[in-house]
Amino acid sequence: MAETASQTSTVTTSAQGGGRPRLLLLDGHSLAYRAFYALPVENFNTATGQPTNAIYGFTSMLANTLRDERPTHLAVAFDVSRKTWRSEEFAEYKANRTKTPDEFRSQVELIGELLDAMAVKRFAVEGFEADDVIATLATQAAALGYEVLIVTGDRDAFQLVTEHITVLYPTKGVSELTRYTPAAVEEKYGLTPRQYPDFAALRGDPSDNLPGIPGVGEKTAAKWIKQFGSFADLVERAAEVKGKAGENLRAHLESVQLNRRLTELVRDVALPHGPEALVREPYDRPALDVVLEALEFRHANFRERLYAADPGTVVEEPVIAGGVELDGSVLAAGELPGWLAEHGGGALGLAAVDTWALGSGSVAEIALADAGGAAAWFDPAQLGEADERAFAEWIADPARPKVLHGAKNAARVFAEHGWSVGGVSMDTALAAYLIKPGRRSFALDALSVEYLGRELAPAGAESGQLAFGDGDDEEAGAEALMAQARTVLDLGEVFEERLAEVGAADLLRDVELPTSALLARLERAGIAADREHLERLEQRFADAVMQAVKEAHAAVGHEFNLGSPKQLQEVFFGELGLPKTKKTKTGYTTDADALAWLAAQTDHELPVIMLRHREQAKLRVTVEGLVKTIAEDGRIHTSFSQTVAATGRLSSTDPNLQNVPVRTDEGREIRRGFVVGEGYESLLTADYSQIELRVMAHLSEDEGLIAAFTSGEDLHTTVGSQVFGVPKDAVTAEMRRKIKAMSYGLAYGLSAFGLSQQLGVEAAEARVLMDTYFERFGGVRDYLRRVVEEARATGYTETVLGRRRYLPDLNSDNRQRREMAERMALNAPIQGSAADIVKIAMLRVDQALTRESLTSRILLQVHDEVVIEVAPGERAAVEELVRREMASAYPLRAPLDVSVGVGRDWESAAH
């Protein structure tokens, strides 16, 4: 979580005077909940999938508060359950609250373990809320002459405020606290702390499900309490309140009197310890280290703040205070060779500012940093001849390690300046992906905060950020880039250890980094496009869209907006009276599934027209996007990503080539727009036949399924013969279709219900089909059971290369989330292994092309298909090479089978 200066600016440090004890009380559940919702859970998980965002936020807030308030005594109170004396008196108390999120529940116990290691007393009393425990301790401590500080997100605690008791109320997540003294409460509400529960009873509390009085808000409630002095006096003189508000008050007296009883905090809870026993004690440092390591809280700034609050021993090895100091230099022409000679022998972090669009780009700034604190910034446009030569030699040298964030992008754009990037020892984006493949963001600033406790900022940054000493505003940009270079280097060091822990170090070195370098060359090469063909297609699809609009208007008898869900609902279910589809918040759905259902349920032509309209509109948008991305060289340069799909598959953007349909006539027409480029004679496409099913056979070791593959006969016919118990020549097309859907469905984690939907049969029939399949192929059944059980025990699945996917929801109490995680557990090893094998195959083909001195080159990898541009006279050699290298990419028990096709365009090269 990012550190901010906002907390100390709102909550001022209050020194202890005259030895007066100071007790700090925290509402554990309240603060942990705030932390849970303030920090994205997807960015705070251990390697085993344990969420830690609430723990991190709570502990960070605690460390900051201990630093700022310096209490002599400390305790944390937790709720036991929602069953308390309040719920017994009012069954609907807090009944409106949703179920505690599974990701949060597991963190409360871990917060307790952390507090135990910090020697912090914690309380949880059956039948009472944490607020009651806090009220009891605060009242006792104030009577003993203590100064009391209460940190809670529950405003009911304002009733405890006195000259000796102050509430610190979170106003921004858990990073900013506002101090509520008696004067502050009165300024906020116009009431004394003693009057606050009277006010709260009248106002009601939606969060606790306490009903208010209709038409009576906070202003009226406060006015009544000020007018009558107290809730009791108001009730006694309720007849004096005039108008509709008075009528409502009298009609709801019983409920607000109940509110008043429930709002009052209990101040005499029987507790095992009094305030005197809450004196702060030294941490159990070895135990705390174990907890922090298990939670993977390793960043220096976080531990520094936590250890600095230890009332016991002094930290023997303090971490870097006040940020990381860099000796940064803005290099002038002629200075780069000397700097590289002095600092370029070891690993350097590299950051750059560059632009890239439609297959070309340039680098505007480059920064380098070493582990010793030296950093340099330079403008590539200002390099002299000696600078250029020195940098080109260093950046290309495989023996001189470089650490980058997004090495592919750097390699792609550096080539525009004639620089070849070699020796990349770490890519922090790829490393973060392998450590936590399910996270949403791999941005450098987010990773820096999470793993280093450091914000990326220019000069003048606060503690926890990088600093450079003196610098003027003109150098701020250079300093910020040097900060990035050092952060990349430091993250690389952290990730080396983490990769080893999750068994992914080899995967990064042998697969992902080489794939990154290859993808950079693919993106630069692009694939030639037939602009005229694509523009004709775009117009054809646009005309089809307009035709569908005319037909839809004619079918209804008037014009309407086909893109408006509201108007579609009015037409379908109002004017036409068609059968109702699935109910949504805004009416009845008109999505594609609903339209297909309507088309089957009614003879009206509109659902069919709407389906065609949407299909043609989507195709038009796809082709329009392709035309827009044709570069000046006549080629389309898509951008590949290795960090989007959790299974390890590649994705592409600008344009997304996976959007191009493969099996429709329109999709084939679009693929004809991708053609062989000038200087080459053909395109060659190659992919694996049924790779997911071969992987499933390999992982399950099912002898029957492996034999079906090795027989050389049609797989689905062979399997259909065994499942349906008929000779192979008696397997019908419908039988084969069902078996094909079944086989691929199992590889994708499909349930019996999902299979029934796909085949258009009853769920019972689909279940019988699955049971029969498993009778014939028991190894598959046993594997699918085993993989889920193992993943539930370890928290993750693995591919054949050890790529992990973490699935904490396998142990969720939420059935829907648990079942989704189970499907992922079935799917991830198969899909992920297929993705790994395709990457290895692509690398082997590329290496073989280089080794055999061929000029043919790989252009694309889409949907597991590799597209190669074949140079004149090399077709036979390339085809033999591709079949050999791809077939031997990984030794599966069901051997890999490669299909190859050649043609002048992508579609003609299909196979």
How far is the CA of 470 from the CAs of 38, 328, 481, in angstroms? 34, 10, 16
Compute the 3-state secondary structure of the chain and give helix, strand, coil in percent, each to the nearest 5: 55, 15, 35
Structural domains in the chain, CATH included, are 19-191+266-278 (3.40.50.1010), 327-503 (3.30.420.10)
Predicted pLDDT at 90 = 66
How far apart are the two ends of the chain, measured CA to CA in Å?
A: 51
Position 755 scores a pLDDT of 84
Chain-centre distance of CA 234, in angstroms? 53
For residue 707, list its beta bridge partners: none
d(CA 778, CA 447): 45
Angle between helices 444-452 and 476-501 (to 10 degrees): 60
CA count, 13 A, side-chain hemisphere, 801:
25
Using CA atoms, how far apart are residues 642 and 633, in angstroms rounded to an integer?
Answer: 26
420 Cβ neighbours under 8 A, 6+ residues apart: 392, 395, 396, 411, 414
Both tokens assigned to 275 = 């305030």
Q: Which two tokens stand for residue 433?
A: 């992906």
The pLDDT score that the predictor gives to residue 475 is 66
CB 883 within 8 A of CB 877: no
* Segments of the chain scoring below 50 in pLDDT: 1-18, 314-322, 458-474
In 3D, which of 116, 176, 146 has the Cα closest to residue 24?
Answer: 146
Q: Give the pLDDT of residue 413.
A: 96
Coil, strand or helix at 800:
coil
Count the Cβ atoms, other than its own, within 10 Å of residue 373: 12
Q: Which two tokens stand for residue 698?
A: 């390999």
Q: Closest by alpha carbon to 48, among 798, 833, 834?
A: 798
Q: Are strands 73-77 and 22-27 parallel, antiparallel or unpaired?
A: parallel
Q: With contact defined as beta carbons under 8 Å apart, do 642 and 431 qualify?
A: no
pTM of the model: 0.72
CA–CA dist 650, 46 (Å, integer): 25
Q: Kindly give the interhelix angle for 196-203 and 182-189, rounded to the nearest 10 degrees.
A: 30
Residue 684 backbone dihedrals phi, psi, to 5 degrees: -120, 130
Structure tokens at 748: 């994708």
Strands across the sheet containing 402-404: 327-330, 374-378, 360-369, 348-357, 402-404, 424-427
| Alpha-carbon distances of 80 from 77, 87, 103, rounded to whole Å | 10, 13, 18
Q: Which residue carries 């918040």 as its tokens? A: 585
Reduce the secondary structure of 523-568 to three states and give it as a string: HHHCEEECHHHHHHHHHHHHHHHHHHHHHHHHHHCCCCCCCCHHHH
Task: Of 349, 352, 340, give the one whose Cα is nearest residue 413.
Answer: 352
* Angular region, 606: left φ>0, alpha ψ -120 to 50, beta rest: alpha
The rounded distance, in Å, linking the Cα atoms of 144 and 249 is 41
Residues 6+ apart with CB under 8 A from 281: 119, 311, 312
Query: Is 817 within 8 Å of 876 (Cβ atoms)?
Result: no
8 A C-beta contact, residue 720 and residue 736: yes
Structure tokens at 488: 């990349």
| Residue 94, pLDDT score | 62
Q: Is 808 helix (H, G, I), strand (E, B) or coil?
A: helix
User: Comparing C-alpha atoms, which of 164, 137, 150, 116 is closest to residue 20?
Assistant: 164
Write out the two tokens for 586. 């805004």
- The token pair at 79 is 């709720």
What SS3 class is residue 728? helix
Of 643, 648, 797, 811, the C-alpha closest to 51 is 811
Cα–Cα distance measured from residue 767 to residue 778, given in angstroms and rounded to the nearest whole number: 15
How many CB atoms neighbour CB 828 within 10 A?
Answer: 26
Give just the sign of the alpha carbon dihedral 622, 624, 630, 635: positive
Cα–Cα distance measured from residue 200 to residue 285, given in angstroms and rounded to the nearest whole number? 44
Cα 807 to Cα 787: distance, rounded to the nearest angstrom:
12
Q: Which residues of 678-708 are buried (b: 16+ CB within 10 A; e: fewer)?
A: eebebbbbbbbebbbbbbbbbbbebebbbeb
**CA nearest neighbour of 861 among 694, 686, 692:** 686
> For the chain, how many residues are written?
911
Provide the pairing of β-strand 583-584 with 898-903: unpaired
**In 629-751, where does DSSP find H-type helix?**
665-671, 691-700, 703-710, 715-724, 733-747
